[in-house]
Structure 1
Amino acid sequence: MKLLFDFFPILLFFIAYKIYGIYAATAVAIGASFIQVALFWMRHRRFENMHLITLGLIGVLGGATLWLQNETFIQWKPTVVNWLFGLAFFASRFIGRKPLVQRMMGAALELPDVIWQRLNSAWALFFIGSGFLNLYVVYNFDTDFWVNFKLFGLMGLTIAFVIGQAFFLVRHMKPQTEGES
């Protein structure tokens, strides 16, 4: 359910694009992001960083798209988001005691420090690479292709990366002994 909630603005953007075009879709995405942040606040009485970052970027880049009637600004949003996440994973190696991925998943997994570092680096590279891939699509394909890539391509790559990560993690997990749960 959380996954659907997190992708709510993207899904509405996709639907609005198919019916009304890029500028209407951009306005819908901006509104959906505001609603997403407000609903999360009303339910949990806190904000989620990812939602706020996305709202800020969609507000600025989406606003520039609408004001200047130039779709390139909204097309840069996935790249900027991915690069910010990549930078956060990379910087976490030097800030704090644990890499970001360990802070996020450490309660569920017990891994050696070197594996946490490798996993963190993989996430950083994945996000940075995804940002460059988005730009490649923006500048080499039409808007229709980019919209489909944004929803299906980037999401598919993320799912494939997570599955690959699971196979990597299985090799490093300690087997449970009899009586452990």
Structure 2
Amino acid sequence: MSEGEGKKAASSWLNVAVDYGPLLVFLAAYRWNAPETPNAAGELAAIIAGTGAFMVAAILALLISKWRLGKVSPMLWFSTALIVGFGSLTIFFGDPTFVQLKPTIIYATFGIALLGGVFAGKALLRILLEAAFEGLTEEGWLKLSRNWGVFFLVLAGLNEVLRAQMSFEGWLWAKLWVFLPLTFLFTFSQIPMLMKHGLALEGKDEALKDEPPTGS
């Protein structure tokens, strides 16, 4: 592997860490502070502790992205702003609903934006992923933007269903064991379409690592 390829692979894995690291911190902080005997006051204290840790981790992830990658993606800026804003509301009002709504807003916003771009003939996903999908045709970009737009809207709906049906801890675990696997499976499912529209074989592995962030 050349030095350039090594740096690209490292940055790809750093992207994954920046996207999902704050969620793992959230889960760890919540579990660390969760009461042994379930009670409302202890549960709320654990949620507040986890939310605070989530906010700090999200800000650190943004700073690391800027430091190591030299840039911060629009989605990461948006996600971090919502984490801080809705996290602050959760802590202030003592209501976990705010932080649980954050993924729904992110997924819905980007889903609508991507599909709106497709209807206007613009592949907005190119802004995020052009370096990872070298050689992809315009038709391929439009199809990829369309597919991710639909997928984001599905995730928004799924988040609302799980938020309504599960406990807070169950919802947190679902973020790790439902949303994360679904995202990787969906990413893999796009490879045949991408290859039909110009994605080079040697770029396939990097494309899998550089899927759009999902706003943990």
Following TM superposition, the consecutive aligned residue runs of length 4 or more in structure 1 with deviations greater than 6 angstroms are: none
Paired residues of 2:107 and 2:156 also in contact (CA < 8 A): yes
RMSD value over aligned CA atoms? Answer: 2.4
What corresponds to 2:24 in structure 1?
11
TM-score, length-scaled by structure 1: 0.84
Report the number of matched residues: 175
AA at the equivalent of 2:24: L
> 1:119-140, CA deviations, whole angstroms, 9 ceiling, x for partnerless residues?
2211101001101100000001
In structure 2, the CA distance between the partners of 1:25 and 1:175, relative to structure 1 (3 Å rule), is closer
2:195 aligns with one of 158, 166, 170: 170
Paired residues of 1:14 and 1:151 also in contact (CA < 8 A): no
What corresponds to 1:179 in structure 2?
none
Paired residues of 2:115 and 2:146 also in contact (CA < 8 A): yes
What corresponds to 2:61 in structure 1?
36
Structure of higher RCO (CA pairs closer than 8 Å, 6+ residues apart): 2
CA–CA distance in 1 between the matches of 2:199 and 2:179? 32
TM-score, length-scaled by structure 2: 0.71
What corresponds to 1:83 in structure 2?
108
In structure 2, the CA distance between the partners of 1:45 and 1:157, relative to structure 1 (3 Å rule), is closer
Identity of aligned residues (%): 26
| Corresponding residue SS for 1:70 | coil
AA at the equivalent of 2:191: A
CA–CA distance in 1 between the matches of 2:31 and 2:199? 48
